[in-house]
Amino acid sequence: PRQARADASVRAVQIYYSERLWVPASWWVIGMFFAVSFVSAVGLYAGPMVSAVASLVTAGCVAAALVAYGNYRIEVDADGLHAGRAVLDWASTGDAVALDREATGVRLGTGADPSGWLAIRGYVHEAVEVTLTDPDDPHPYWLVSTRRPADLLAAIERARQARAKGPEVSAS
């Protein structure tokens, strides 16, 4: 049997929070309804063989789109706050606040700054806002969708505290 070797270039990172913002089940129902209605129209016009192929292709495309859109990860680790592929390092962060549904709506509407950076999914109605302290960053804040704003906020605080303490050195 092969033994796994640890790669020296890979380092262990403490993950304080991780959430994937999957699309809700209702979106799957709507997406598949679209696929069925599209295939019905094609099937009536082109015949059963074309309809069968169109069914598979359309359902596959709808499923791929829903999985891709819902495969959005929010993560807090020692390096920073990750929203999808974007990373906000701890040195650039200021205050963070959890927003309920109403406050998120205001922050996305009349209370929005057009230069704010948004990691929003329309089917997630709560968010966390993180103010940026870097004067060279064009974004004054990040607004990040989350289903668990209090947990995300607590993880941000834990990661900041761990960073402030610095790496732990073992006495040997």
pLDDT tens sequence across 14-50:
899 999 999 999 999 999 998 888 888 777 788 878 8
Report the predicted TM-score, pTM, of the whole model to 2 decimal places.
Answer: 0.79
Q: Where are the beta strands (DSSP E) in the chain?
A: 15-20, 73-77, 80-83, 86-89, 93-99, 117-119, 127-132, 141-145
Pick the closest to residue 90 from 12, 14, 164 (CA basis): 164
Assess whether pLDDT exceeds 50 at residue 7: no
Share of the chain above pLDDT 90, in %: 70
In 3-state terms the chain splits into helix, strand, coil percentages (rounded to 5) of: 40, 25, 35
pLDDT at position 2: 39
